[in-house]
């Protein structure tokens, strides 16, 4: 039996960041992980898919280069070398995973390779080894996509990790799902030249986010050549292809699972944790129903985002050290890596209306922004929602190149409880895309300058 102050089960963005923070605070810490460090996000999710999306987007930029005055490029001859794109992706993933291992060791965290199975609230079994957590056990076991829909079509239904192992791109494929993962995968396939369909049980894409974002995504995917089948389910397969519940035949080689995710709880039966809609129930600091046991990341169902998991990991360890700084999940940004990108934080118009909050809206299109025009990227907008009486920023929704970087300004504004006019008083450099944030903020009071 080896004793530690803190034992963490799971080396994804929630667990490994919790380990680093615990090490910083001088806690003797063990982190248990059966696979490569970084979890789903680094190895089979966020990082590899974005690396491939970047390759596919570069292909599109080359094909459009004549619009920028670049001559001599035969747009019909250029293509994506999938094998090289995969090699680049794997190199990036390996580098970042090793970087995470280095950071754990740098902060004095002991890495234990193997499947961690808690025996009680203090003890975790890893193979034949028993590890004790004297202060706290932090669970960060993550999630996996719901595979229920694939039961109707068998082997043609593949998971993301299998997709990322393909040595060749298919001629045709479908994606199942309606959230960020599904729409990113659909765009990746389409940009890479694959005949692509997106099948969703929901009638609207991104239903959890502001409605304007879902509408824009549908238009963007159609523009890229993706065929949308909304409000449909997978029914059966035969030698001709895959059938939907309305008898539509999809002549595709396989369906990639981009469904909503479910928590991985199979190793936690001994803890008798209280659940909330299938996820581990936690308080604002990550404490579960079992004394001395915390849970962070996807298994709690709070954000299903890597950076949200990391914030939860820090929050949990801080609480152990007597620092009470809960995560405000209304202020965790969502990033979706389409082209242009999508980023959102705070409340949507629909949520504001449901909660009976009176609000003002500022809307600024990229067509009126100098930087967007000179880049030839005018498809998008910035929408700022502010509380009607005092003007506090309540939500920001962006469709723009580098929107995933731009959203940090909104996150800071909301963290500081700034008003939209506070943002509008900040001098933004020109010409930049960030000026759209200024203009949309001023627009909440009908003070927009360039429109």
Enumerate the active-site residues.
Answer: 430
Helix (H) or strand (E) holding 131: strand 129-139
Residues 6+ apart with CB under 8 A from 332: 303, 305, 307, 308, 311, 345
DSSP letter string, 144-206: EE--GGGGGTGGGEE-HHHHTT-SS--SEEEEE-SSHHHHHHHHHHHHTT-EEEEEESSSSSS
If 0-12 CB within 10 Å is exposed, 13-18 middle and 19+ buried, where does residue 68 land?
exposed
Q: CA 56, 58, 62, 65 torsion: positive or negative?
A: positive
List, edge to edge, every strand of the sheet that includes 341-346: 334-336, 341-346, 393-400, 381-387, 359-365
If 0-12 CB within 10 Å is exposed, 13-18 middle and 19+ buried, where does residue 278 land?
exposed
Number of H helices, E strands in the chain: 13, 24
133 DSSP assignment: E
Residue in the block written with tokens 């596919």:
56
C-alpha 289 chain-centroid distance: 27
Cα–Cα dist 30/134, whole Å: 11
Both tokens assigned to 124: 């975790």
Both tokens assigned to 335: 């990033």
Cβ neighbours of 323 (radius 10 Å) = 12
Q: CA 307, 313, 316, 322 torsion: positive or negative?
A: negative
> Do 63 and 3 form a contact (C-beta atoms < 8 A)?
no
> Do 450 and 440 form a contact (C-beta atoms < 8 A)?
no
Backbone angles phi, psi at 148, to 5 degrees: -55, -40
């Amino acid at each position: 039996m080896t004793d530690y102050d803190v034992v963490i089960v799971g080396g994804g963005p929630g667990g490994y960041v919790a380990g680093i923070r615990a090490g910083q605070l001088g806690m003797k810490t063990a982190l248990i992980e059966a696979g490569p460090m970084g979890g789903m996000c680094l190895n089979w999710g966020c990082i590899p898919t974005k690396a491939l999306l970047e390759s596919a987007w570069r292909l599109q930029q080359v094909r459009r280069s004549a619009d920028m005055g670049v001559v001599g490029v035969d747009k019909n001859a250029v293509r994506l070398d999938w094998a090289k794109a995969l090699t680049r992706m794997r190199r990036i993933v390996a580098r970042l995973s090793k970087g995470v291992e280095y950071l754990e060791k740098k902060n004095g965290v002991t890495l234990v390779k193997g499947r961690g199975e808690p025996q009680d609230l203090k003890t975790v079994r890893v193979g034949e080894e028993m590890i004790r957590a004297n202060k706290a056990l932090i669970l960060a076991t993550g999630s996996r996509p719901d595979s229920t829909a694939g039961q109707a079509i068998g082997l043609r239904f593949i998971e993301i990790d299998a997709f990322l192992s393909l040595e060749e791109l298919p001629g045709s494929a479908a994606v199942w799902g309606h959230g960020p993962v599904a729409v990113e995968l659909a765009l990746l396939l389409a940009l890479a030249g694959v005949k692509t369909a997106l099948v969703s049980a929901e009638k609207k894409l991104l239903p959890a986010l502001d409605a304007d974002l879902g509408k824009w995504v549908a238009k963007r995917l159609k523009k890229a050549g993706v065929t949308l089948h909304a409000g449909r389910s997978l029914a059966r397969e035969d030698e001709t292809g895959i059938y939907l519940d309305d008898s539509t035949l999809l002549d595709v080689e396989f369906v990639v699972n981009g469904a909503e995710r479910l928590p991985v709880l199979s190793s936690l039966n001994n803890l008798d944790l209280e659940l909330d809609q299938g996820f581990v129930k936690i308080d604002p600091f990550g404490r579960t129903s079992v004394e001395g046991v915390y849970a962070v990341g996807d298994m709690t169902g709070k954000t299903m985002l890597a950076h949200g998991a990391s914030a939860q990991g820090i929050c949990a360890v801080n609480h152990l050290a007597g620092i009470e700084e809960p995560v405000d999940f209304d202020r965790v940004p969502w990033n979706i890596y389409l082209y242009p990108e999508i980023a959102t934080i705070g409340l949507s118009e629909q949520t504001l209306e449901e909660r009976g909050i009176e609000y003002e809206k500022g809307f600024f299109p990229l067509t009126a922004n100098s930087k967007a025009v000179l880049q030839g990227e005018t498809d998008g907008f910035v929408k700022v929602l502010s509380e009607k009486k005092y003007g506090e920023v309540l939500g920001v929704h962006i469709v723009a190149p580098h929107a995933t970087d731009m959203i940090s300004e909104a996150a800071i504004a909301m963290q500081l409880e700034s008003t939209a006019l506070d943002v509008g008083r900040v001098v933004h450099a020109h010409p930049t895309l960030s000026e759209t944030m200024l203009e949309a903020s001023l627009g909440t009071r009908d003070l927009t300058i360039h429109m």
